[in-house]
Amino acid sequence: ILAQDCSFPSALSRPSHQVLVMTNREQDVYFAKLAEQAERYDEMAEYMQRVGEQPAELSVEERNLLSVAYKNAVGSRRAAWRIITSVEQKEKTKGNEQQATYARGYVA
């Protein structure tokens, strides 16, 4: 088998469109935006945490993304906790201690 030339093409042979290369920071911000659109706020928070761990200060947009990520991640957990706690109280009111115990255990 003959080895093929694996060198990069010269600048003259490049296509007319430019290829955009993102930095890790830009890529994390982009993925955070995608996660937001998909309503995957835990992943959004992870991407923005990685951005925040870098030495440069956060831009206004990055601060807003970080805020949205944590607000929504915590908000969904709070809503779930309220629902399960409500179920626990209803089961106690009905006298179903076993189901109330299950609900309490589910929250923990």
- The pTM of the whole model exceeds 0.85: no
Q: Which tokens in the block code for residue 1?
A: 């088998």
Task: Classify residue 91: in a domain, yes or no.
Answer: yes
Neighbouring C-alpha atoms within 13 Å toward the C-beta of 16: 0
Query: Are 73 and 41 contacting, i.e. CB atoms less than 8 angstroms apart?
Result: yes
Binned at pLDDT 50, 70 and 90, residue 95 comes out as: very high
The number of distinct structural domains making up the chain is 1
Task: Classify residue 2: in a domain, yes or no.
Answer: no
Q: Each residue of 8-50: pLDDT tens digit?
A: 444 444 455 566 788 999 999 999 999 999 999 999 999 999 9
Task: Classify residue 88: in a domain, yes or no.
Answer: yes
Alpha-carbon span 56 to 6, nearest angstrom: 37
For residue 80, give its domain range.
20-107
